[in-house]
Amino acid sequence: MSERQSGSPFAADQEVDCRGMRCPLPIIRLANQIGEVLLGQSLAVVAEDPAARPDVAAWCRMRGHEYVGEDTAPDGVPRYVVRRLV
Amino acid sequence: MNVVVDYVGNGVPGSATPGDQPQSGPGRNVGYFDSASAEPLHPAARDSLLAALDSGFADPLGLHRPGRNARLLLDNAREVVAACLNARPDEVVFATSGAAAVHAGVLGLLAGRARISTRLVHSAVEHSSVIQAGAWFARSFAGSTDVVPVDAWGRVSPDAVAAALQSPAGLLAVQSANGEVGTIQPIPSVLEVSGEVPLFVDFAATAGRLELPPGWSAAAAGAHQWGGPAGVGVLLVRKGSRWRPPFPADDRADPRTSGFENVPAILAAAAGLQAAVAEREERNARQRRLVERIRDRVAATVPDVEVFGDPVDRLPHLLSFSCLYVDGEALVGELDRLGFAVASGSACTASTVTPSHVLEAMGALTHGNVRVSLTRDTTVEEVDRFLDVLPGTVARLRERAGVR
């Protein structure tokens, strides 16, 4: 079950900065970057694009990863955390 | 300057004159798959429109022969529409668009029960005209709105409706089917739990295609989705339901609508609906086979794709899917360049940065979305040509976007 929290309570092993990008670029960046973390490690996507919220979760479902939850980066931009499972 | 009637060589099915067959290439349609936005005018609607332009121009309230003639055409249209929708003629109101009919239906029912409650409960996947009418009412009359969630197919659960109706409500709004993903809503089950709360049904997606389920207090649709002309909406207000005029009164005969009736367009809308209903069994069966073909081929030939909506209990003519890593606007543009007209619910299209609230409510992938909706004369050849070019088009866009 994913959660939404303010601040950055979700630890992430790596972060992808997608500020200023529009859909589907944040998801493409996420997909290209996921191989850079080990199985079981997590990757955070920081993006203002409102489509990133549903699409990061949908990407996890389609590609077999875990959607951990949403919090915010220090500058207030939403941050979506994913755990690599495959 | 002359009035221009055709900018790019119209290849919309049904409108091409003999000897002017659509060709491929920019501006030429080899497949028009956007009937959920606008179905080409049905030939029966076209004939009625052309005839009534000359015979139905006068004021139907006029106390003279041309006025009486317009009145007869209007009454005839009302009776035809009533018969097609299992309603009484005096329950049928013509509005200037589907959205105007929705606004009058939603707001009139809310006004009628405002002393009991000003709270609107609606499904998360209602058309924006329903949602915006509710938001406007809430702002204007200190009302409130509550949203009932849907499942991954976009279907509202009667249990969730029942939970939302634990608190007093002025109105419940649930569509007959969703026009973006095709899922049919369980109106009969919703009615089992809605009790005294009146039900508004937006039936734009099913009008002329599927029976309108009974039990509505008001219902609304627009004619352009069933093959009538644009600019005609139908509002049904159930006799005996508490509906109050939400807009300034008009001196014309019917308090449920306002303005001078467009009699030729209304007659054409009625003729189009009658024809669509008469043909629907055959057309629905044919369209279901084509949609099934699209569903199978898209799932088999396009990697990383999500096909939406209930696979069985769905609209016959429409299918929506999203392609991972693809920009929806670019995909619509590429397909248009190849001669195919489709719609998209993705953000970055339709001049909005927010994705479709329908796809978001379903938890679906919102980018790379395509909605294919077939017209009454879409052929298997048109569908196959589309299915032939789709996988390559998606692959090209992914490569261009730097997907590894």
* Inter-CA distances, A6 with A19, A52, A77, B327, B361, Å: 18, 17, 10, 30, 22
Q: What is the pLDDT of residue B74?
A: 97
Count of CB atoms situated within 10 Å of the CB of B119 = 23
Q: For residue B51, give the 3-state DSSP assignment.
A: helix
What are the backbone angles phi and psi of residue B276, rounded to the nearest 5°? -60, -40
Which pLDDT band holds residue B27 (cuts at 50, 70, 90)?
very low
Strand (E) or helix (H) holding B320: strand B318-323
Which pLDDT band holds residue B111 (cuts at 50, 70, 90)?
very high
Give pLDDT tens digits for B227-285: 999 999 999 999 999 999 999 888 887 889 888 999 999 999 999 999 999 999 999 99
> Residues B188, B37, B346, CA angle at the centre, nearest 5°?
90
Q: For tokens 């976007």, what's the residue?
A: B401
Q: What is the pLDDT of residue B4?
A: 81
* Inter-CA distances, A32 with A38, B20, B67, Å: 14, 48, 69
Q: Which of B363, B402, B403 sits opposite A57 (nearest CB)?
A: B363
Query: Which of B327, B346, B367 should be substituted to probe chain A, the one whose Cβ sees the most A Cβ atoms within 10 Å?
Result: B367
B360: distance to nearest CA of chain A, Å? 6
Exactly one of B38, B348, B389, B395 is catalytic; which is it?
B348
Asked if the model's pLDDT at residue B330 lies above 60, the reply is: yes
Q: What is the pLDDT of residue B358?
A: 96
A2: distance to nearest CA of chain B, Å? 13
Q: What is the pLDDT of residue A10?
A: 86
Round the average pLDDT of chain B to a whole number and report it: 93
Its CATH architecture, for the domain B44-274, is 3-Layer(aba) Sandwich (3.40)
Q: What is the pLDDT of residue B13?
A: 52
Query: Which of A25, A33, A55, A80 should be substituted to probe chain B, the one whose Cβ sees the most B Cβ atoms within 10 Å?
Result: A55
Segment 336-365 of chain B within 8 Å of chain A by CB: 346-348, 353-355, 359-360, 363-365
One-letter amino acid at B373 equals S
CATH T-level fold of B31-42+279-395? Aspartate Aminotransferase, domain 1 (3.90.1150)
Residue A62 exposure: Cα atoms within 13 Å on the Cβ side: 21
Please judge whether B353 and A54 are an interchain contact, meaning their C-beta atoms are less than 8 angstroms apart: no
Tokens read off for B404:
């590894």
Q: What is the pLDDT of residue B346?
A: 80
How many angstroms separate the CA atoms of B14 and B46, rounded?
A: 11
Please judge whether A23 and B364 are an interchain contact, meaning their C-beta atoms are less than 8 angstroms apart: no
> What's the domain count of chain A?
1
Q: Which residues in chain A have Cβ-Cβ distances shorter than 8 Å to B364? A: 54, 58
The structural domains of chain B, with segments of one domain joined by +, span: 31-42+279-395, 44-274
Please judge whether B367 and A23 are an interchain contact, meaning their C-beta atoms are less than 8 angstroms apart: yes
The residue segments making up the domain with residue A17 are: 3-83
Q: Which residues in chain A have Cβ-Cβ distances shorter than 8 Å to B354? A: 50-51
> Residues B252, B229, B225, CA angle at the centre, nearest 5°?
110
State the average pLDDT over residues B64-70.
Answer: 97
Please judge whether B403 and A27 are an interchain contact, meaning their C-beta atoms are less than 8 angstroms apart: no
State the average pLDDT over residues B197-203.
Answer: 98
Q: What is the pLDDT of residue B262?
A: 97
Q: Which of B346, B364, B403 sits opposite A23 (nearest CB)?
A: B346
Q: Greater confidence, B16 or B78?
A: B78
Q: What is the pLDDT of residue B205?
A: 98
Q: What is the pLDDT of residue B23?
A: 44
Q: Which residues in chain A have Cβ-Cβ distances shorter than 8 Å to B347? A: 22-23, 49-51
Helices B65-84 + B263-301 axis angle, to 10 = 30
Which pLDDT band holds residue B15 (cuts at 50, 70, 90)?
very low
* Inter-CA distances, B220 with A20, B28, B175, Å: 40, 34, 10
DSSP letter string over B364-391?
Answer: ---TTEEEEE--TT--HHHHHHHHHHHH
Residues in contact with B99: Cβ distance below 8 Å, sequence separation at least 6, in sequence order: B129, B222, B233
Q: Greater confidence, B12 or B240?
A: B240
Give pLDDT tens digits for B345-382: 886 544 567 889 999 999 999 999 999 999 999 999 99
Q: What percent of chain B has pLDDT over 70?
A: 92
Here the ipTM equals: 0.91
CB contacts < 8 A, A to B, total 71
CATH number at residue A13: 3.30.110.40
Q: For tokens 């549903």, what's the residue?
A: A54
Q: Which residues in chain A have Cβ-Cβ distances shorter than 8 Å to B370? A: none
One-letter amino acid at B394 equals V
Q: For tokens 């002017």, what's the residue?
A: B20
Residue-wise pLDDT tens for chain A (86 aa)? Answer: 456 676 768 889 999 999 999 889 999 999 999 999 999 999 999 999 999 999 999 999 999 999 999 999 999 999 999 999 99
Q: Which of B327, B354, B367 sits opposite A55 (nearest CB)?
A: B367
One-letter amino acid at B6 equals D
A9: distance to nearest CA of chain B, Å? 23
Q: What percent of chain B has pLDDT over 90?
A: 85
A11: distance to nearest CA of chain B, Å? 24
> Is B365 within 8 Å of A58 (Cβ atoms)?
yes
Q: Which of B325, B355, B404 sits opposite A51 (nearest CB)?
A: B355
Residues of A assigned a catalytic role: 23
Give pLDDT tens digits for B116-139: 999 999 999 999 999 999 999 999
